[in-house]
Amino acid sequence: MGPFAASYILLVASAVRAFQYTELAQYVDSHQEEYVEALRDWVAVESDSSNVLKRSELNRMMEMVAQKLRQMGGTVELVDVGEQELPDGSTLALPKVATAQFGSDPNKRTVCVYGHVDVQPAKLEDGWATEPYNLTDINGNLYGRGASDNKAPVLAWIHAVAAYQALSMELPVNVKFLIEGMEETGSNGLDAMILAQRDTFFSDVDYIIISDCGWLSRRPALTYGTRGNCYFYAEVEGPKQDLHSGVYGGAVIEPMIDLIGILDTLISPSGKILIPGIREAVAPLSDEEWKMYQDIQFDMDNYRNKVGVSQLMYNNKVDLLAHLWRYPTVSIHGIEGAFSDPGTKTVIPAKVTAKFSIRQVPNMDPAAVKKQVTDYLHSVFAKRKSPNKLKVTMVIGAKPWLADTQHALYEAGKAAVKRVFQMDPDLIREGGTIPVARTFQDVTGKSIIMMPIGGFDDGLHSQNEKISRYNYIEGTKLFIAYLNEVSQITIQNKDI
């Protein structure tokens, strides 16, 4: 061993010894109430990005984020990302994106934490047990819209940095924040902003951390993949106006019957996608993947009961997880133009539009899927010999994201989980889509990890969304420990 290697090992060893985790964890424990009050203040803001009438609330939310980061001494900017066009043709300013920087030591790693502070709509009459915008503590669970998705995780990251500052401890890495306010409606303006700042804000970033997901069970998790999404409209148009079924039924070929007929050819009752070329494009399940799924903590009965069904599509853990995470699926979401109000109405709709989606996985390509679906539906429709017109359009084409679980970022994540929770994490994938992960990967070329702190039963997007105090507080400690673990990644293995 040469003198350089010996001194390097001593340097790393001293850095490890210097990490005062116990003091930091004690600080977090003693400031729990302050953290809960901060979450209460944030949840009280109705930052619903889907409702243009709430845009002032969303703008206020972004100002609150910026103010909190400024108070901590960060270099903070509220970045203008342009306007959105509304259905009536008017435009509305998009909420600004908050960026912040803590530390700029060129000898340290730099991480960028991504999060969002907009929320899904919520009303008490939707079936909430508590007021959705009034954080309510019941048996250690903090109920409120946006509590888990994604306000508590964003606050936990901010509190992690603030804990180092409060104890006058040097941050082990430089930390940047990128917090947006349009994630729930497609992150309008964010892709262009990331591209515009690739060589400025992102130029010195080594790693990107996303905490916009959740655990699968009571065991902590690291997430290494998400599915993408291709969303389609299939429109069938017939007569020039809606018709009375008593007067015209039997005389015309009905658009709704055509539409339901072609939708029925997309997927079999057992879940097999029938569109040629889709299944053939999917990356095969490796033995290593199968083993990883086998080791994951997952209760099938609990999952089935939580969903509220008597039977799932698959009856063993590996098959179910694989079809949730790494196989595509077809879901039919609704039919626009159909009669759906209470009561009876004997109408033949003149034009109906089905909305359906196909979740993307490696090695599927949205452009290829668009052609496969369009060609297939037109061929099926042609066999019906209908005089009606079919139009198929793809309105979303989001790619999947997949990381290498052997990367040093994930090794650091495992070490941080072990320190805080005294157990190894589950390595999981996410069935949903987090498009920003793929954007970060494609635009910046940086390595990404998803580090969730939300619980498996938090009810994201649903009634009675919550985060537990345990996950919120221990999650803050996890982020503190993770910043230290990332600082230990050596130059030699940082891109393993």
pLDDT tens track for 438-460: 999 999 999 999 999 999 999 88
pLDDT tens track for 364-394: 999 999 999 999 999 999 999 999 999 999 9
Residue among 54, 177, 176, 47 at smallest CA distance from 115: 177
**Domain extent listing, the chain:** 21-226+400-488, 228-282+327-398
Tell me the CATH number of domain 228-282+327-398, given options 3.40.50.1240, 3.30.70.360, 3.30.420.40, 3.40.50.970: 3.30.70.360
Decide if pLDDT at 48 tops 70.
Answer: yes
Give pLDDT, residue 491: 58
pLDDT tens track for 61-103: 999 999 999 999 999 999 999 999 988 999 999 999 999 999 9
- DSSP bridge pairs for 392: 234
Q: Which CATH class is domain 21-226+400-488?
A: alpha beta
Decide if pLDDT at 215 tops 90.
Answer: yes
Which residues are annotated as catalytic? 118, 183
DSSP calls for 96-107: PEEEEEE---TT
8-state DSSP, 449? E
Helix 152-166 and helix 469-487, axial crossing angle in degrees, nearest 10: 60
- Mark 147-171 as b/e (b = at least 16 C-beta within 10 Å): bbbbbbbbbbbbbbbbbbeeeebeb
* Cβ contact 472:135 at 8 Å: no
pLDDT higher for 13 or 213? 213
Decide if pLDDT at 15 tops 80.
Answer: no
SS3 at position 395: strand
Decide if pLDDT at 9 tops 90.
Answer: no
Residue owning tokens 């960028």: 112
8-state DSSP, 400? P
| CA 104/CA 121 separation, integer angstroms | 38
